[in-house]
Amino acid sequence: MTDVANAVLDGTDCVMLSGETANGDFPSDAVATMAAICVNAEEMVHVHKRYDFIRNQTPKPMMGAEALCSGAVQSSIDCDAKAIMCITASGRAPALVSKFRPQCPVLVVTPDEQLVRHCRSVYGQTGIFKENIEGDMMQIVEEAASYARSLGIADLQPGDQVVVIKRRNMRRGSQVPYDDQRLIVKALVLGQARPHSPGHTAYAGKSIIYHRSTKIGLDTILEDHKFKYAVRKTKIICTAGPACWSEEMLGKLLDAGMNVLRLNFSHGDHEGHYAVLERFRKVCKEKKLHAAALLDTKGPEIRTAMLRDHKNISLEAGQSIIVEAVGAKYTSFEGYKDDTETRIGLSYEKLCQSVHVGNKILLADGSLSIRVDEILSGTELRGTVLNSKSLGERKNCNLPGVKVDIPVLTEKDIDDLQNFAAKHQLDFVAASFVQSKADVLFIRRVLDEAGGKQVKIISKIENAEGLHNFDEILEVTDGIMVARGDLGMEIPVEKVPLAQKVMITKANISGKFIITATQMMESMITNPIPTRAELTDVANAVFDGTDCVMLSGESANGSYPDVAVSTMANICRSAEIGVNLYQTFDYIRSFTPKPISAIEAIVCSIAKNAVDLRPGMIIVFSEHGKTARLLAKYRPCAPVLLVTSNVKLARSCATLFAMYPFLLDAPINSVDEIEGHVEKALNYSVEAGLCMAGKEVIVFTSTSVAAAACAAGDEGKAMLQREVLITLAPGQLDHNALGALAPHTSAQDPRMITKTITLRSTVINLDMLTDDNPPVRKTKLAVTIGPASSTPEILERLVDSGMDIARFKFSHGTPQSHAEVLGTLKEICKRKGRSVATLMDLQGPEVRTSYLIDKQSGVRIDSIELKAGDKVSLYGTDNLSPDSFVGYRDFDGSVRLGVDLPDLADVARAGNVIRLRDGAIGINVTEVSAGRAVVGVVINNGIMGERKVLHISGVTLHASPSSTYQDMQTIQDFAMQHGIDFVAASQVGGRHDVEDLRRFLDDIGAENVKIIAKIETREGLRHMDDIIEAADGIMIARGNLGMAIPPEKVALAQCKVLTKAKVAGKPVIVARHMLESMNTNPRPTRAEMTDVANAVLDSADCVMLCSETASGMFPVDSVVTASRICRNAEHAMNYAMIHSFIRDFSAKPFNTVEAAAVAMAKTCMDAQLAVAVVISDSGEAANVITKYRPSVPLVVVTSKPTVQAQCNLCFGQRGLLVEVEAIQGETEPLIKRAVDWARQSGLFTGSQRAAIMHGTDTADTEKSAILNIIDV
């Protein structure tokens, strides 16, 4: 019995009886018994996993016939179809169907008697003889169903789902290949469909598991021509404002990639907004585009009341304050501060019923915080001011974690919805501060009453209550907006990146579109290039699964609205190219509850076929939008052309991933018209540049789009039929131009094996988003020391705030000034018992500008303000003396800058663009005087500091050899004298650069100094494998890297380098523009927060702050903020998945220590330990453990100060310095000492358990390892 069952479980098509029936006494019993065993064994099979295994192991790309048949099986599994019918004469289709092991019978209707007999030995097949299979298909289906019922094979009843595969009738002269294209798949319902169908699909519950993966090759980053046929699928929403509401600029935004225009009703009136809407619709009509319009409500708000004499009051940290709920009287109530008390009013009349003791009241965009200490009455409470700040009138108020009892729509909002959105038939309304399902239903009722039934609702999630009720909101809303601005005021701001992932994941699984909004490219309000954090924020939103990204002030008030849109479009397109299509599809399908509706099953199979076939286009027909919405859910890898006569549906494509509309002049009346419209759609797709000529196209049609067929179906006279086929786009396929769309010959194809697969996985619980108890931080913080952070007071505060590495940048400052600061830092660390590592960042072969002076006084200055139109002359020199190598603003208003490149005038040409400050400032070269100055005009306003890196577009610059000599001299004089732990080498292009530096360090006795190789050039990317192998660590220097490669590719490069270094076990620092806005603001932008969080989730060991701490106004706040973001991101890390990923991709076999390290990291997770301890004098064993990302802090016991300091770079490590005798002595006392130190250091509290690793013969884990778990 087990033999038969195992044969079935192994996948046999047929089992055979020999003597049992030929000579046995019980032939009929033998057959019956075997049949019963087979039936029971088949019920044990996990149908989904078996299907996935066979499909995933099938070589790609599939032929069209196999893709269609495997998709038919997938659809039958997902929608629980009762049968698959193959109407065929050849037998190829049923053979392909049976290969993928459908869960239902395969009814093979054929005129071939031999094929009927053959079916008896193939899995699932039952042959049905039919002499004429070219007749009425529905009659054939009914006859086959009747025959199946009569044999007891399938009890097919009216309303059951059936999948039909048959030959496609081709037009005469068609050039479509037979094997690939002659099959079609039809999904239909026997008789009339049942009224019940699977309801709202949801990923319900408080916790979500989130997986996202990329697959990135060097060609993805460096060879953009391979992706010229890649069409952007993520949509862009632009906020209207003075900068863009002219017809000319609206046209430019549409040309640049805008899909939706957002009208922000927090500002303006109906008349003004209508004028913009009219201009927008006029431009769309002229350009024959179907862009959508969105009304964003002002929403409910809480504001502070007036103040006595309308004068601001100064509030001091620690002082008591009375807050009074004055309701609508806030415009007349006057707050005050006198000798007896301080009293302010708030417009929220239910304040004292909503808040509790311990809650916080945030005022003026969170810049002022008040803790609630006592509820005095129904209208008054007493609180304590938590920070000093001046407070003005009518400032906004947020109540984090409080359910605010205010209607979702104010009277103004209702008027806006009914007398603007409904009246003018806008496509979407975005409702602010949606907190419940009831809120959405109320908005729907308000719109419907005014004739706005077709206006779709976007729910903006902006507070904790909206997060708590997210599942019920998602069920009834049309879309979601992650409104990161207010959300960051209502929950701890560092939790916003996690909340974003929760909402996007849940929306993806539900098939509802989602918008990521607020501060995505904030710096582009004033700069033509975004910061690196903004670039990666947009890219990561795409990786996360967003449908749309939104611009606010960038397009409404910015200086470069069209540039912002085109930049965002480029980032989205580049990020989409890097997405791991297989993983994305598999994740969404796996986490979607089954069974699903027939329509969803079909579009799901289409999306999977697209992954395996890589077609140029998918064409779908729809009049109501459900097909488009569900197909977008599965993130198709090809653009989707939605054919419809519904103009509202055409515009609604503007928020759906990958959807592009093709509007018909009139509705389709007859099914016979569909084929003609398919041909029109194919021609349009090629003409519009959406599809490559001659490339495969998947087509999905349905009889439901034909008015006559719908009427017949409603009367019960016709079956609903859906059809999938594969055809070719018109024109000749240019094989040389396929690029990334070219098929791979095998899994070993070089184009496949040169790809780097990355994995980002999180487990996020709703409580994480509102609670404030993240674990001990394990990601390290490197802090650049400069004028803003060099005083003893600031240095001490930085140490207290968690600085792990002090970075000294030798392109700025002098060795003497660095030595003074370093001496002060060491004294502070010694006094506090803290270890802070030191990193010496060399200038390297970079080209930089001069020092700056005031021309009149000759005094050194920090910066010069450049304005668009300023004339600038740049002179090249090799005299770098601070006295002569200077720049200044001249008396005539022009600017003169020095450049440490003697042959500058020989390499620059008129028409070049010179980029300064990581591209933030541009200069158009207008004139070059041979051997003298390069003259140009400033493109945009910006602040120019000293010694900034200079790039010239299209020119490779080679710095003076003197810079390399200077670096060597500095290392010899400074690193040795001051005991530097790390040296960061700039512009590393290959292994030889690292090895040369290593030899130099060894020769001068600095063998303990570790080398950090900076990846910041194209050469560095090309040779990253060799560099990672040779270096001790890697720095992703995003500033220069974003100038060496297209800036929109930086996020892809970061993912690739992080993953390669992670698997190699080398620590990685992510640097530049992490919290750039904190140079001048006490809080980072939402883009910067998510950038830091995603770097942590991608397994960066360290994030580095540059100008934020070197010259910014808030150096300590920057470190505190970065620390909190890191801690919260680590809290959400799926350590089990990350451990598994690294282990799977690591070379085998492991040595003894690495095998033990793998086990130790896994044990920390599985046993939920509190801390880990390793005795590793050299630090090598500790580094191997860290590679596998233990979920707890790792105490590294060593007798070497350099190893202790270098622990400050590696994820989770904490170095404990002990005596040499202790390492050589007894193991147990050393372990106890380490555990006690860990407790005293706050790494854990209470009675817990710990993982311990030490050597066998000695305490040191060098060549062998023992792993224990102890109670501590």
**Catalytic residue annotation:** 262, 303, 460, 518
Residue 407, SS3? Answer: coil
- The half-sphere exposure of 809 on its side-chain side, counting CA atoms within 13 A, is 22
Query: Do residues 107 and 144 lie in contact, with contact meaning Cβ atoms separated by under 8 Å?
Result: yes
From CA 395, how far away is CA 531, in angstroms rounded?
30
Query: Do residues 529 and 554 lie in contact, with contact meaning Cβ atoms separated by under 8 Å?
Result: no
Residue-level length of the chain: 1272
Contacts of 209 (CB under 8 A, 6+ apart): 591, 761, 762, 763, 1134
Q: Which of 289, 287, 295, 395 is nearest to 335 (CA)?
A: 395
Strand partners, 1194: 1172, 1213
Q: Which of 590, 585, 591 is nearest to 607 (CA)?
A: 585
Rg (CA), the chain: 33
Query: Do residues 603 and 634 lie in contact, with contact meaning Cβ atoms separated by under 8 Å?
Result: yes
Contacts of 1089 (CB under 8 A, 6+ apart): 488, 493, 494, 496, 497, 1125
From CA 1029, how far away is CA 1065, in angstroms rounded?
10
Alpha helices in 1004-1049 (DSSP H): 1018-1022, 1024-1030, 1038-1044
Query: Do residues 518 and 552 lie in contact, with contact meaning Cβ atoms separated by under 8 Å?
Result: yes
* Strand (E) or helix (H) holding 157: none
Strand duo 913-916 + 921-928: pairing? antiparallel
Gap between the terminal Cα atoms of the chain: 53
B/e letters for 892-914, b = 16+ CB within 10 Å, e = fewer, are eeebbbbbbbeebbebbeeebeb
Query: Do residues 828 and 793 lie in contact, with contact meaning Cβ atoms separated by under 8 Å?
Result: no
* Strand (E) or helix (H) holding 1095: helix 1086-1097
What's the token pair of residue 637?
A: 């890898």
From CA 650, how far away is CA 1039, in angstroms rounded?
41
Q: Which region holds residue 800: left if phi is over 0, alpha if psi is between -120 and 50, else beta?
A: alpha
Q: State the amino acid at position 1080 in one-letter form.
A: T
From CA 498, how far away is CA 1133, in angstroms rounded?
10
Residue with tokens 């959807």, as numbered in its chain: 659
Residue 636's CB is within 10 A of a number of other CB atoms, namely 27
Instruction: State the virtual CA torsion across 152, 155, 161, 164 in degrees, nearest 10.
Output: 30
Q: How many helices (H) and strands (E) does the chain have?
A: 49, 54
Alpha helices in 230-363 (DSSP H): 247-256, 270-287, 351-354
Instruction: Please provide the DSSP assignment of 1114-1146 as one string.
Output: -HHHHHHHHHHHHHHHHHHB-HHHHHHHHHHHS
Residue 12's CB is within 10 A of a number of other CB atoms, namely 13
Contacts of 1072 (CB under 8 A, 6+ apart): 532, 918, 1037, 1038, 1039, 1104, 1106
